[in-house]
């Protein structure tokens, strides 16, 4: 039992999804699971001249979690990656998404803050009655 050393890999899931992530395998009781970190989906951007670039998106868009557990039974195939370009693209994405997560703005009056809900309701009712 334990977690093996992590590596970069492309995973093709039985659902048809293809993800790229940092992966570590772990033996848990009677099954093997994969711990995937910051999984991404890579789409080619095509023009009439051919492939012009890549679009990188998070695998799951409605969560801020960066680590997921996938049962090995749900994986159709897995290929360890030594493609430096792909690894650098992935690392840049992870670094960039980490910076964006740390940017928190405080609400100020300059952003349009007026008041709390009750005060705003009273102001709007007065404006409505006077019109």
Taken in order of first residue, the domains within the chain and their CATH numbers are 2-105 (2.30.30.100)
The pLDDT tens digits of the residues spanning 11-63 come to: 999 999 999 999 999 988 888 899 999 999 988 888 888 767 888 999 999 98
How many residues are recorded in the chain?
131
Q: How far apart are CA 113 and CA 8, in angstroms?
A: 45
Q: How far apart are CA 53 and CA 67, in angstroms?
A: 27
Confidence at residue 48, expressed as pLDDT on a 0 to 100 scale: 82
Q: Is the pLDDT of residue 100 over 70?
A: no
């Amino acid at each position: 039992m334990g977690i093996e050393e992590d590596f970069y890999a492309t995973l093709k899931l039985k659902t048809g999804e293809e993800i790229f992530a940092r992966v570590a395998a772990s033996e848990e009781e009677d099954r093997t699971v994969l711990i995937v970190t910051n999984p991404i989906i890579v789409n080619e951007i095509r023009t009439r001249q051919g492939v012009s670039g890549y679009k990188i998106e998070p695998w799951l868009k409605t969560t801020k979690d960066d680590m997921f557990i996938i049962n090995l039974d749900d994986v159709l195939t897995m290929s360890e990656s030594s493609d430096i370009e792909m690894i650098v693209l992935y690392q840049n994405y992870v670094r960039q998404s980490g910076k964006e997560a740390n940017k928190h703005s405080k609400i100020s009056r300059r952003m349009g803050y007026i008041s709390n809900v009750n005060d705003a309701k009273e102001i709007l009712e007065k404006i409505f009655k006077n019109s």
